[in-house]
Amino acid sequence: MSLTIINLLENFGVPALAEELVTLEAPFDWSNTSKVILKLEEKIEGLEISTKAKKYITKIVTESLDNVCRHTSLNVVSSTVSNFRCYIYDRNLYVLTRNLIPVSLENQLMTIIESLNLSTKEDLDEQFRYQLKNGKLSDEGNAGLGLLEIARKTNDKIQFKFEKNDGLTSFFTLFVTINAKEI
C-alpha cells in the first residue's frame, strides 16, 4: 500500500500550516498541466517574492509536470497514480509530483538524482550547456534536461521516494523545495 499524499508531504517536511496553491490529480495531459501552470502563475503574482524567484518556480513546476506527462508508466492517469501538489509556507514553496514508473527505471533515476544533488551550481550549468549542445532526443521527445533544469533552479536537494506498486511498477515521488527568499 502506498503512502497517501498527506503522509508524503509530512515525510518530506511540509509544515502542517502550509497553504495549498494548486493541485492536479487527473487527467495528466498537456491541456490540464498548462491550466495548472497558469493558475500557479496567477497565485504567485501577488506574493512578495522576486521576479526571478517567480520564474524559477514556474520553471520547476513546468518541468515537474512535464516529467509526469512524459514518463508515467503505461500512460496511467488516474488520481490514485498521478498527482501534483504545490504548497507555500513562509515564502518556501513545496512541489510534489507522483507517478507510476517501471521498476526497471528506479536505479537509473536514483543515480541521476543523487548525481545532480552532489553537483555544484557550476557543474549543473556546465552539464546543461553540454546537454543542449550534444543531447539526443529520446523517443518521448526530450533531451534529458528536466531533472537537470530542476536541480539548476532549486536551492535545495531534490528529494524522492520509490514505493512498490506491483512486480512491474513503482510509485515515484519527486519533491522539491524552493526557498523564494534566497532567489
Query: What is the C-alpha separation between 102 and 120, in angstroms, rounded?
Result: 30
CATH classification of the domain holding 100: 3.30.565.10
Count of Cβ atoms closer than 10 Å to residue 34 Cβ: 12
pLDDT at 79: 43
H helix or E strand, kind and range, residue 65: helix 51-71
pLDDT at 124: 96
**Of the candidates 74, 32, 29, which has an alpha carbon nearest to the alpha carbon of residue 165?**
74
For the chain, the domain total comes to 1
Mean pLDDT by 10 residues, the chain (183 residues): 81 94 84 93 92 95 88 53 90 93 92 96 94 71 79 94 90 94 85
pLDDT at 77: 44
Domain that holds residue 49: 5-182
Global confidence as pTM: 0.89
DSSP designation for 181: G
The answer to whether the Cα torsion of 161, 115, 139, 39 is positive or negative is: positive
Query: What is the C-alpha separation between 112 and 107, in angstroms, rounded?
Result: 9
**Of the candidates 90, 66, 100, 83, which has an alpha carbon nearest to the alpha carbon of residue 26?**
83
Question: Residues 51-74: pLDDT tens digits?
Answer: 999 999 999 999 999 888 877 655
H helix or E strand, kind and range, residue 160: strand 159-164
The CA radius of gyration of the chain, in Å to the nearest whole number, is 16
pLDDT at 155: 83
